[in-house]
Structure 1
């Protein structure tokens, strides 16, 4: 009996001892729970000031964290190590921060801030109460650079200020490596194509849209290719010209011309353009296979300085000659002209334009001698070009002669575009000492290495009349 009692006591002691040993892990689990609770994200809030947009993270205790950017600075990513969350996704009503996404990951909490554009930011903390907040700067300017090919530098500017967001591109090119040449849509004046198509057709390293144009593709402004005029202007407008070595010339240019058939002389109304009433138009092989004229005129085929034949309309244009197309008063003036009569064409553009093989007329001027010099009023440009912000295309040159092909987007949420004054300032920022405005609006497009860099305001590339392309020397 005594032994039995002793055994029971020993057994009870063993049971109690085992119970005490098993209780230890339960007691240590309490501090772990308290530790997790001490790293809890309890709320996420959003606020806006004049200078920044702030995302606030309410915490029980500040955990270790790391933060970095992705998507070329347009996404901010933050990890809160060892934390867990009771927070809901915040409502965002900012201009820079588009949304904030909070998720649980094995190592803690992942927070993603998606921005409308890359922006500077600052991370700050606060004790009592514990908070961590990210201030995203509302006004910013960021320029990134890359080298698409030797002798080329592509700069992308993203900016936000009191005017709004602006996105623009500038391609700087070494004229010792590349020559600038105009390219016609589909290889002729009478047609339209995208800048991408013209760049591919020419085998260019880059291209931008160039001259103003009519719906038919006819060039509106002076255009000279390989020494031949293929477009004319009715106003004194700005142009950029290139000599054989690639040196640039900027300034105003106008065109005048006369045609003499037999003993009759008549002023030129246009070159490679739609024939108007009582007008004389010169057509060369750059225009198209035929003149596309109606039956109400008369056309003289010129070869070797003589009238080779006479046609009524839509005449085939010889590659080794011209077609002189006349209507109304011009037709009456040449009524006595016959096959075999002498033919002479005189064209005047003044110096230096007459001796340059390449001239691209557009306008107005933006920069002259390193200063803003907008000549829209003097050149009588209409309000759709001169008033307000819009997508813009420009060509400039630096002090050491490097070419600048520039485009800014406009009429879109990511970019408001530029006024002519602002476009001049944009060109100055990238080192232009002279710069000219090209056609803009939905026509603005920059293609580099076969890739469209900007976002045209039409939603897709517009078919235009011509482009300025960079070809390897």
Structure 2
């Protein structure tokens, strides 16, 4: 981790405007040819009271690329460690949890959630966290949790500064500003290990690519141990859990209708945040065609849902949930690596010219270096059996579509697309729609989603976000979290407010939590939240020198 020792601005209460003006004047004096970015105007962040102290450290990494480190606030005397027994979404549930807590010999406490139920009606609270104890340090809370669980109650340790309610912080943030008008290098997304399977830390990707800076990017599958649909993310370890375009090549299908960061040019010019769909088909020589339901993933597992075809239990997005589909055709390209997933079904291998070179019952075997493997299950397997003949052509086409305008995106070798969500800002205004983007608190097949919504969306966590200013500059934000006393993290609502405060008019949340990482000149900024250190991720946004 790097220390922040460059030029600092101090912002406190009514002095903010004077200091901001002085900082702007100093920048103009020192670099007369450089346009001032929205973020370097030193306006204080919309976090906590306006009187909180804030320091900023700014450094130019290359023409058009600036890194800004921001520290704000201080530890709140009113926050403490506690043990949360569960989330109650109505008074009857709360009373029942409290009864169990008392029966175990403890005094329960109700703490309200930081936001309402997004399903409505308007103003309806999501609920209350039923808790036990107030502890000055984590060790005492851990001991209490052990005792509570030994008495048969569920429990996990939390810090109240992360609840999403009023606090003084502190917050530790890093911002990269890329100005396409001056930047002469390249901005692109990079798969971990260079292929879909496997993960790699942001630091490792930065070193491997020689990046000036790098930020973790989209959602992905962790572990790959689960191979059934359910309330988890299942599939191949490292598989992007949403759309991914690398160097103009579509390598993962969209969670349809969810937002994505679209970088059409190498220097970041015309970067946008859009809702994206993908349309992939396979056509036979006799005119028959079929929808390809997935790209470079295991058949039957749709991480974050939002799939097409006979997706079950639904086709809408559901974050950190894996939907299923028993009737699929999946396309595997060289981006998947050298080995296709094994299992029942039917498989056809295509050469570089699109002609079938081999067919087989059952799935598995090599993926050709310049070809494609089509794997079918259920009705998809039947279609391949009927139309995949050795020597005959099968044409696979994939299109990335703007879900708002229904127009295809032009993909060039410079194009990158990174999955994310929820949508934070559109046209300078908050655009939060957790139900639409897959964070509904509605339970799925008995799986608790209200607790997930509270912990993931309403409470504070480490965050990574991207946005675009009105004049086209790209903002990449990382925020440390889950480290009381160092940084409280942000709720999703706060993430949107911070991005707007930094000057973004369009913004998207990217993968966060333990994945959040920014690397600047080979140094990891901030402190990862995972106890094991920096987490290997599925893909990375890299800022490359000229």
Structure 1 length-normalised TM: 0.67
1:192 alignment partner in structure 2: 199
Spell out, residue by residue over 1:185-234, the C-alpha distance to the aligned partner (whole angstroms, 9 max, x if none).
11111111101111111221111111100121111111112222111123
Spell out, residue by residue over 1:232-259, the C-alpha distance to the aligned partner (whole angstroms, 9 max, x if none).
1233100121223632122111122221
2:255 alignment partner in structure 1: 234
Spell out, residue by residue over 1:244-290, the C-alpha distance to the aligned partner (whole angstroms, 9 max, x if none).
36321221111222212344422212111112233111111111112
2:513 alignment partner in structure 1: 441
Match of 1:223 among 239, 244, 258: 244
2:297 alignment partner in structure 1: 273
Residue 283 (1) aligns with residue 283 (2): no
Residue 393 (1) aligns with residue 464 (2): yes
Rounded to whole Å, the distance in 1 between the matches of 2:218 and 2:299 is 20
- TM-superposed CA distance for 1:150, in Å, is 3.5
- TM-superposed CA distance for 1:299, in Å, is 3.2
Q: Secondary structure at the match of 1:182?
A: strand
1:51 alignment partner in structure 2: none
Rounded to whole Å, the distance in 2 between the matches of 1:242 and 1:301 is 30
1:143 alignment partner in structure 2: 56
Match of 1:367 among 419, 425, 432: 425
1:461 alignment partner in structure 2: 534
> Structure 2 regions of 5+ residues with no counterpart?
9-49, 75-165, 223-236, 301-325, 441-452
> Structure 1 regions of 5+ residues with no counterpart?
1-69, 75-136
1:106-117 to structure 2, matched below 5 A, reads none
Q: 2:464, 2:509 within 8 Å by CA — same for their partners in 1? A: yes
Q: 1:301, 1:310 within 8 Å by CA — same for their partners in 2? A: no
1:34 alignment partner in structure 2: none
- Alpha carbons of 1:267 and 1:423: their partners in 2 closer, same or farther (altered >3 Å)? same
2:174 alignment partner in structure 1: 169
2:319 alignment partner in structure 1: none
Rounded to whole Å, the distance in 2 between the matches of 1:233 and 1:243 is 17
Q: 2:346, 2:384 within 8 Å by CA — same for their partners in 1? A: no
Residue 333 (1) aligns with residue 395 (2): no
Match of 2:394 among 343, 355, 360: 343
Which 10-residue stretch deviates more, 199-208 or 313-322? 313-322
Rounded to whole Å, the distance in 1 between the matches of 2:457 and 2:242 is 17
Rounded to whole Å, the distance in 1 between the matches of 2:345 and 2:395 is 24
* Structure with greater contact order relative to length (CA < 8 Å, sep ≥ 6): 2
Q: 1:302, 1:343 within 8 Å by CA — same for their partners in 2? A: no
Spell out, residue by residue over 1:347-366, the C-alpha distance to the aligned partner (whole angstroms, 9 max, x if none).
34324653133222211221
Query: Which 4+ residue blocks in structure 1 deviate beyond 3 angstroms?
Result: 70-74, 261-264
1:294-309 to structure 2, matched below 5 A, reads 294-309=343-358
1:174-185 to structure 2, matched below 5 A, reads 174-175=179-180, 176-185=183-192
Report the number of matched residues.
342
Match of 2:499 among 427, 437, 447: 427
More strand by share: 1
1:248 alignment partner in structure 2: 271
1:118 alignment partner in structure 2: none
